[in-house]
Amino acid sequence: MSLDYILLGLLREPASGYDLKAVFDERIHYFWPAELSQVYPAMQRLEDKGLLRSREAPAKRGPRRRVYQTTAAGHRVLRQWLDESPELGDERIGFLAKVYLMDELRDLSKTRQYFRELREICATRLEELQAIERGWAAQDPHYPDALSARMFHVSLTLRKGLSSLATHVKWCDESLRRIEARMGKERSNGRTIPRHTLDSHRGGHHRTDRVLDSRSRKQGRPAAR
Amino acid sequence: MSLDYILLGLLREPASGYDLKAVFDERIHYFWPAELSQVYPAMQRLEDKGLLRSREAPAKRGPRRRVYQTTAAGHRVLRQWLDESPELGDERIGFLAKVYLMDELRDLSKTRQYFRELREICATRLEELQAIERGWAAQDPHYPDALSARMFHVSLTLRKGLSSLATHVKWCDESLRRIEARMGKERSNGRTIPRHTLDSHRGGHHRTDRVLDSRSRKQGRPAAR
DNA sequence: GACATCTATATAAAGAGTTATATAGTTCTT
DNA sequence: AAGAACTATATAACTCTTTATATAGATGTC
């Protein structure tokens, strides 16, 4: 489970669960969100395994704190994980699932509206990340050169966020262009065409419409992965 | 839960659990993977709620099949979900978590090797999607124009996959350039510098190194989201 | 006929993640 | 002095997902 390794990595410098939550919400959540209710038991488990150690720390401003830190064994486990080959992993992208099925609404103006909102959300997050990068550049006259090893690797992930979100926005724009072009055609074909027959009007050769038809697939690949 | 809505969407055309698994592994898994052990109970639950109906179907080649289909109530629930505003949602991107922490290995050639492998994985998947698009283009002389509403929306999601993976590959290439430039500098600075002091050699002004330091954050935003 | 493979459904158990709730000291404001 | 807001830890209940296991008919092959 990646959360365990992320904790081992973050706790190379000592921190409490509460501290970590702030770090997750500030930086890590872009690629791995976590709740306090997940972090506290995970830290206990990792301490039981000898991968973390903890101590009571004097609190500056609040109640008692329990501060955790990665042990030598924890470092070894972390390094072993980091040394494994990359995997693309399972991504669950809810907004794509919706687009995939959105023909059900039979109303392109709703699809258009969806993409307009999505574009704004992505653009806002892109600005968030750009602000982080500007902050780094303001603090460090050499940025993005001459970084410490730590910051160099972190900056690699920031660049990923920046390029991904820029691509998101571009995809929304491209989609909006396609949607609007299609809406133009729909209008010129006449509004009065009953919607449930629209598809067949537009040439009946769409064998690929049968997205769900399992008989059309080339070969039964094994169900297991 | 999105899986339920995806099932309502896919079962607008009747299919068995086994059929659906093939559809998931062929297309849907790019944005929402699912196992049979999740699909079967989910379909039963949705039938209990009246959103799906099922019947025994004669099997052409195997044992008995139970074929499910979305009811009118199911269509309504699906449409209601589709009509909600988009959300970016929580993405868990394991390969980014690794890069974020990979300074722990203190060996840039390992980081480089990681990116080389990741690049190959992404390029392979990109080719997969390009092959799907070529297949569509071969079947339909007008592609990507004059699509049915169904295929139009599906093609919007395919374009997302294509642009995302192309960006992945470009990010890997950019990262490899940066890593190699850095390795060049490391060599010219002399191999004999003890690794644990390398950071301080390279200008001690990196306040942003303290990624974990919660005291440096601007304001305590509420822990809740 | 034995064995492997494919089609097909189903459930149990374990693991991962979210939401809700409880507790309590500290600090700041009114 | 009261109350709100913040710091801090913890657990329970629930939901979602994965992995493992069981069953069994149909088909193909050696």
DSSP secondary structure string for all residues of chain B: -HHHHHHHHHTTS-EEHHHHHHHHHHTGGGT----HHHHHHHHHHHHHTTSEEEEEE--SSSS-EEEEEE-HHHHHHHHHHHTSPP-------HHHHHHHHGGGG--HHHHHHHHHHHHHHHHHHHHHHHHHHHHHHHH-TTTTSS--HHHHHHHHHHHHHHHHHHHHHHHHHHHHHHHHHHHHHHHHT-TTS-GGGHHHHT-S--GGG-TT-GGGSS----S--
- Could you give the percent of chain A with pLDDT greater than 90? 77
If pLDDT is split at 50, 70 and 90, which confidence band does B39 have?
very high
The residue ranking higher by pLDDT, B63 or A13, is A13
- Which residue is the nearest neighbor of D15, CA to C1'? B1
Question: Which nucleotide C1' is nearest A224 CA?
Answer: D19
| CATH ID of B2-82, from 3.10.129.10, 3.30.70.260, 1.10.10.10, 1.10.540.10 | 1.10.10.10
> Given this model, what pLDDT does residue B202 score?
40
Give the pLDDT confidence of A60-76 residue by residue, as tens digits.
766 789 999 999 999 99
Helix/strand/coil for A68: strand
Give me the CA B184–C1' C11 separation in Å, rounded: 57
The CA distance from A202 to A141, in Å, is 59
To the nearest whole number, what is the mean pLDDT of chain A? 87
Q: How confident is the model at residue B134 (pLDDT cuts 50, 70, 90)?
A: very high
pLDDT tens for residues B181-199?
999 988 887 655 545 444 4
Q: What was the pLDDT predicted at A192? A: 53
Helix axes B17-26, B2-10, angle to 10 degrees: 110
Which pLDDT value is given to residue B62?
67
Token pair recorded at residue B85:
């505003």
- Cβ of B59 near strand C (distance < 7 A): yes
Average pLDDT score over residue span B86-100 = 96
Q: Which of A51, A69, A101, A214 to mutate to test the interface with B (most CBs of B within 10 A)?
A: A101
Strand D at less than 7 A from CB of A90: yes
- Does residue A217 have a pLDDT over 70? no
Q: Is the CB of B65 under 7 A from strand C?
A: yes
Residue of B82, B98, B170 with shortest CB distance to A101: B82
pLDDT(B102) > 50: yes
Instruction: Work out the pLDDT band at B210, boundaries 50, 70, 90.
Output: very low
Q: What is the per-residue pLDDT for A191?
A: 58
B79, exposed or middle or buried, with CB in 10 Å at 0-12, 13-18, 19+? middle
- Interatomic CA distance for residues B221 and A142, integer angstroms: 30
**Long-range CB contacts (within 8 A, 24+) of A15-22:** A15/A67, A15/A68, A15/A69, A15/B212, A15/B214, A16/A57, A16/A65, A16/A66, A16/A67, A16/A68, A17/A43, A17/A66, A17/A68, A18/A65, A18/B214, A19/B212, A19/B214, A21/B223, A22/B214, A22/B217, A22/B220
Predicted confidence (pLDDT) at residue A223 exceeds the cutoff of 80:
no
CA of B62 to C1' of D26 (A): 5
